[in-house]
Amino acid sequence: MILSKIWTGMVLIAILAALFLGRGTHLGTSVLEGAQSGVTLAISMAGAICLWSGVGKLMEVLGLTRHLSRLLRPVLSRIFPSTRKDPKVANCLSANICANFLGLGNAATPMGIAAIRQMKRPDKPGLATDEMCRLVVLNTASIQLIPTNVAAIRASLGCAAPFDILPAVWITSACSAGLGITAAWFLGKVWQHD
Amino acid sequence: MIDYLVPLILFFTCALALHKKENAYDLLLQGANDGLKLLISILPTLILLLTAVYMLRASGAVELLSSILAPVFRLFGIPPEAALLVLIRPISGSAALAVGADLMLQYGTDSLIGRTAAVMLGSTETTFYTISVYFGAAGIQKTRYAIPAALIADFVGFFMASWTVKLLF
C-alpha cells in the first residue's frame, strides 16, 4: 500500500514539476527510458547476484553463522544482558547478526523474528522492550561484510574497482550501528512508558 | 589486499565445503538458481521505480528538491545531489537501489557523488520496512523509541558515508 502512494506521488510530482519548469518533452521520453533502464540494471546485476547467492548457499550449509556467533558472544551479552541467562535468545540473536554480516538476508530475518518473540514480556505483550529496540536498531544499521548489490551495480556501470568502497562502508556502518545503539540507550533512559 | 577478499572468500567456502564432503559446485548452482529467482522477483519493481525516478529527473523535480534541501545538506557535508536517495532510503529498498544506480550512472561510479551514493546504499537499511517486519511478527504495537533511534542510526550513516568518501578517496 505504501509503495502505491509513493509511486503515484512520484509521478504526480514529476508532472507538476515538468509543467512548472516547462520540461514536457523531456518528461515524455523519460517514461520509456526509465522502464528500459530497469531491465538493463537487473540484467547487469544478474551475474553478481547469482554468484553471491551461490556463495551464500555454501555458507549456510557449512554453518558459518554458528562459528561466527561464538566470536560475537562477549559483545552480545553487553548489549543484550538477557542473553546471559537465556541461551535460546542468545543463539537466535547471534545467528541473526552473523547472517546479516555475511549478507544472508533470507536466513537473518527468521532468526531475528524468533529472537524478538522470545524477548516478549508476558505482562506487557504489546510493548517494545529496550532490548527489542536495540535489536531493531542493529538490524536497520546493516552491518555487512560485502554489500553485493551495490558492488554489482558499480561493476555493471564499468567501475574498475567496484570493491574499493568497502572500507568506507565498514566504517560508516560501524559508526551508524554504534551511535544508533548509544542513542537507543539514552532514549531508553528517558522514554520509560509507551 | 581488498582485491583478494572476494576471490579468497570464494576459495575458502568451496575448500571448506570439500573438506566437509559437501558437493560444493552443486550447492553453488542451487544458490545461483535462487539468486535468479530473486532477481526475477525484483525485476518488475525495478522497472516501475526506475520509470518514476527517470520521470522525476527529467521533469527537473530532483534538481528542485536538491536546491531546496541544499543548505541543510551542506551544513552536514552531505552532497545535495543525494537528497532523493536520503529521503527514500528508509522507506523502500528497491526504490533506493534505483535512485542510487541512477546517481552512479549520471555522475560516474568513481565520482564523489557516485561513491557516496554507493556507500550510503551499502551501509544503511530500509528502516521502516525492517521495523514493521520485526514488530509486526512479534505483535508489538507500542514501539517506543525504536523509530527515532533507528532514524538517528540512518542519519549517522548518511553523514558518515559523505565524510568517509571525502576523506578516503
What one-letter code names the amino acid at B139? G
Q: Contacts of residue A165 in chain B, CB cutoff 8 Å? A: 115, 118-119, 122, 165
Beta bridge partners of A127: B142
Task: Spell out which residues of chain B touch residue A18, defining contact as CB-CB under 8 Å.
Answer: 58-61
Residues whose CB falls within 8 Å of the CB of residue B156, separated by 6 or more in sequence, listed in order: A175, A176, A179, A180
> Are B82 and B117 within 8 A, CB to CB?
yes
Residue B135 is predicted with a pLDDT of 92
Is B78 in the same domain as B13?
Answer: no
Cell numbers at A67, concatenated: 562459528
Check whether B2 has a pLDDT greater than 80. no
pLDDT confidence tier of residue A80, bands split at 50, 70 and 90:
very high
- The total number of structural domains in chain B stands at 2
> What's the gap in Å between the CA of A69 and the closest CA on chain B?
17
Each residue's pLDDT tens digit, A117-150: 988 888 888 889 999 999 999 998 878 888 988 9
Residue B48 lies in a domain: no
Check pLDDT > 80 for residue B1. no
**Residue B55 located in a structural domain:** no
* B112/B163 Cα distance (integer angstroms): 10
Looking at the fold, whether B65 and B135 belong to one and the same domain comes out as yes
Q: Provide the chain B residues 87-126 that lie in CB contact (below 8 A) with chain A.
A: 88, 91-92, 95, 97-98, 100-102, 104-105, 109-110, 115, 118-126
Judge whether B50 lies within some domain: no
Q: Per the CB < 8 Å rule, is A163 touching B27?
A: no
pLDDT at B165: 97
Q: Is residue A8 part of a domain?
A: no
Residue A194's pLDDT is what? Answer: 58
What are the pLDDT digits (tens) for B9-28?
Answer: 999 999 999 999 999 999 99
Residues of B in contact with A14 (CB under 8 A): 52, 55-56, 58-59, 61
Angle between helix axes B146-168 and A166-190 (nearest 10 degrees) is: 150
- Summarize pLDDT for B96-155 with one digit per residue, the tens: 999 999 999 999 999 999 999 999 999 999 999 899 889 988 888 888 999 999 999 999
Question: Which ipTM was obtained for this model?
Answer: 0.89
Give the 3-state secondary structure of residue A98: helix
Say yes or no: B27 and B79 in one domain. Answer: no
Inter-chain touch B53–A10, beta carbons under 8 Å: yes
Residue A26 lies in a domain: no
- Which one-letter amino acid corresponds to residue A181? I
How many cross-chain Cβ pairs, A to B, lie less than 8 Å apart?
335
Residue range of the domain that includes B37: 1-42
In a domain, A12, yes or no: no
B95 and B135 assigned to the same domain: yes
Q: Which domain holds residue A72?
A: 53-190
Residue A129 backbone dihedrals phi, psi, to 5 degrees: -85, 170
Is residue B156 domain-shared with residue B97, that is, in the same domain?
Answer: yes
Has residue A172 been placed in a domain? yes
A22 part of a folded domain? no
Query: What's the CA gap between A19 and A73, in Å, rounded?
Result: 58
Residue B106 within a domain: yes
Show residues of chain A in contact with B139, CB under 8 Å.
120, 125-126
Residues B81 and B129 in one domain: yes
On whether both B106 and B157 belong to a single domain, the answer is yes
Q: Which residue has the higher pLDDT, A2 or B106?
A: B106
In this structure, the answer to whether residues B83 and B37 fall within a common structural domain is: no
Residues B76, B31 share a domain: no
What's the number of domains chain A is made of?
Answer: 1
The answer to whether residues A7 and B52 touch, using CB atoms and an 8 Å cutoff, is yes
B38 and B64: one domain?
no
DSSP, collapsed to helix, strand or coil, labels residue A101 as helix
Residues in chain A: 194
In-domain check, residue A15: no
Does residue A82 form part of some domain? Answer: yes
Q: Which residues pair with B142 in a beta bridge?
A: A127
> What count of Cα atoms within 13 Å lies in the side-chain half-sphere of residue B20?
15
B18 and B98 assigned to the same domain: no
Length of chain B equals 169
Residues B33 and B84 in one domain: no
Residues B101, A153: Cα–Cα separation, whole Å: 6
Q: Is B101 a domain residue?
A: yes
**A4 part of a folded domain:** no
pTM: 0.89
